[in-house]
């Protein structure tokens, strides 16, 4: 009595191809000899594969439904790529959820991303700027326009794989004869062969070239920040899309200002007398000349803050501050007249001004004062 393939798979005669495929997968996992230790597991698995081979192929299924004879077409465990259970692709798909022929590969490849560094002045970081940068990169070949072929020519279909990009060969296994699919060695899986490549780019579809770009540096950028320019990286192979370009910013040290976050810091030195009496000093900032008011009695280390005179916030939320650190300079070389004036000032203020005395009297000075008082 002939085996009913529909009954073997557990589907109705009106079942769709997808329902047949689903039922086959479910039973194949259970009956595979690697997981089923029954003595007739291998025979059942082969019979299940034969049923699926017939019912999954519309033409074989039509013959089977009309005659009930599954041998109207070539039998055996696996046809050569006719949609049945015949290759490693179907086995992989059954037990690992994937598989199947992927078809010919594309020569097109996305270009690589590029990274270059640009050094700017601190003032450029405060307000932003536009810089011209030169990039050594890959660009689409103008001779073949990325086709990789000499203009006027076309690729030919690979005679080994007939444009499929894959070749198949039968192999014996414990499961019977299976079909092994592998990348075509002659066309490298592309399905066609370029017999007359472009001489300008050596069949790559791109060439090396130096190009100049205008890059907008935003206000507030800091050392190490990167600017992303989409599509400005290397051109892809065979007309593939370009990669991206990243501009990494470096900032030259400034002779007056240092940056801490979005604040600028500067040190201004004022004479001792000016700090005592009060004065106004000028400072050339990135906004122009600033007048710094130094109040009378200012001590060294005091900080004067100028609001909104620092670096712009990167997201446009105002600017940081300019912090001016005051340093009071004590004179080291005095003329006799200057020394006399300082002594008079010290006497007026009740301070000790004799160079040979320290703030605290020495032992001999104290003995002399004690002797004179007797």
The pLDDT assigned to 308 comes to 94
Given a cut of 50, whether residue 74 has pLDDT beyond it is: no
Burial of residue 33 (number of CB atoms within 10 Å: 0-12, 13-18, 19+): middle
Given a cut of 60, whether residue 277 has pLDDT beyond it is: yes
For residues 93-120, give the mean pLDDT: 74
Nearest to 262, CA basis, from 239, 286, 281, 227: 286
Q: Could you give the CA distance from residue 345 to residue 350 in angstroms, rounded to a whole number?
A: 8
Given a cut of 80, whether residue 335 has pLDDT beyond it is: yes
For residues 314-337, give the mean pLDDT: 90
Please indicate if the annotation marks 148 as binding a ligand: no
For residues 143-171, give the mean pLDDT: 90
Please indicate if the annotation marks 198 as binding a ligand: yes
Given a cut of 50, whether residue 357 has pLDDT beyond it is: no
The pLDDT assigned to 34 comes to 60
The pLDDT assigned to 113 comes to 93
Task: Supply the pTM of this predicted model.
Answer: 0.59
Given a cut of 50, whether residue 83 has pLDDT beyond it is: no
The pLDDT assigned to 30 comes to 78
Q: What is the band of 339 on the pLDDT scale with cuts at 50, 70, 90?
A: confident
First CA to last CA across the chain, in angstroms?
Answer: 147
Please indicate if the annotation marks 187 as binding a ligand: yes
3 state DSSP class of 140: strand
How remote is the C-alpha of 73 from its chain's centroid?
Answer: 55
Whole-number average pLDDT of the chain? 82
Q: What is the band of 364 on the pLDDT scale with cuts at 50, 70, 90?
A: very low
Q: For domain 258-329, is the CATH number 2.60.260.20?
A: yes
Q: Which CATH superfamily is domain 5-96 in?
A: DnaJ domain (1.10.287.110)
Q: Could you give the CA distance from residue 104 to residue 109 in angstroms, rounded to a whole number?
A: 14
Domain chopping of the chain, boundaries: 5-96, 258-329, 336-372
The pLDDT assigned to 37 comes to 67
What is the DSSP annotation of 26-71? HHHHHH-TTT---TTHHHHHHHHHHHHHHHHSHHHHHHHHHHS-GG
For residues 104-130, give the mean pLDDT: 92
Mode of pairing for the β-strands spanning 263-271 and 322-329 = parallel
| Number of other residues whose CB lies within 10 A of the CB of residue 321 | 17
Helix or strand run (H / E) with residue 208: strand 206-217
Q: CB under 8 Å to 164, separation ≥6 — which residues?
A: 101, 103, 104, 184, 191
Residue 237: strand pairing partners: 109
Dihedrals φ, ψ of 371, to 5°?
-70, -40
For residues 31-37, give the mean pLDDT: 66
Nearest to 327, CA basis, from 303, 349, 351: 303
The answer to whether the CB of 70 falls within 8 A of the CB of 102 is no
pLDDT digits (tens, 9 = 90+) for 211-264: 999 999 999 999 999 999 999 999 999 999 999 999 999 999 999 999 999 999
Given a cut of 70, whether residue 268 has pLDDT beyond it is: yes
Among the residue ranges 133-147, 286-300, 343-357, the one predicted with the least confidence is 343-357
């Amino acid at each position: 009595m002939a085996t009913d393939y529909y009954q073997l798979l557990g589907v109705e005669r009106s079942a769709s191809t997808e329902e047949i495929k689903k039922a086959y997968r479910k039973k194949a996992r259970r009956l595979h000899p690697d997981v089923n230790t029954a003595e007739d597991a291998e025979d059942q698995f082969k019979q299940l594969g034969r049923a699926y081979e017939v019912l999954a192929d519309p033409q074989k299924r039509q013959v089977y439904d009309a005659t009930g004879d599954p041998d109207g077409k070539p039998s055996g465990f696996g046809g050569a790529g006719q949609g049945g259970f015949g290759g490693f692709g179907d086995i992989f798909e059954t037990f690992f959820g994937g598989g199947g022929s992927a078809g010919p590969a594309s020569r097109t490849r996305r270009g690589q991303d590029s990274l270059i560094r640009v050094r700017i002045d601190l003032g450029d970081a405060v307000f932003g700027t536009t810089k011209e940068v030169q990039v050594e990169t890959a660009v689409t070949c103008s001779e073949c326009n990325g086709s990789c072929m000499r203009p006027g020519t076309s690729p030919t279909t690979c005679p080994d794989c007939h444009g499929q990009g894959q070749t198949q060969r039968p192999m014996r296994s414990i499961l019977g004869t299976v079909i092994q699919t592998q990348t075509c060695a002659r066309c490298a899986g592309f399905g066609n062969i370029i017999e007359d490549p472009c001489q300008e780019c050596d069949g790559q579809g791109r060439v090396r070239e130096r190009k100049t770009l205008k890059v907008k540096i935003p206000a507030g950028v800091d050392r190490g920040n990167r600017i992303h320019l989409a599509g400005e990286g290397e051109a892809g192979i065979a007309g593939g899309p370009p990669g991206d370009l990243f501009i990494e910013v470096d900032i030259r040290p400034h002779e007056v200002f240092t940056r801490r976050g979005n604040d600028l810091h500067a040190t201004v030195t004022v004479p001792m007398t000016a700090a005592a009496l009060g004065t106004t000093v000028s400072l050339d900032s990135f906004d122009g000349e600033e007048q710094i008011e130094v109040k009378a009695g200012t001590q060294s280390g005091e900080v004067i803050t100028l609001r909104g005179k620092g670096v712009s916030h990167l997201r446009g939320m105002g600017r940081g501050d300019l912090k001016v650190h005051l340093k009071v300079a004590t004179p080291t070389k005095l003329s006799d007249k200057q020394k006399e004036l300082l002594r008079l000032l010290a006497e007026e203020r009740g301070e000790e001004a004799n160079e040979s005395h320290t703030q605290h009297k020495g032992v001999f000075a104290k003995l002399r004062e004690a002797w004179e008082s007797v």
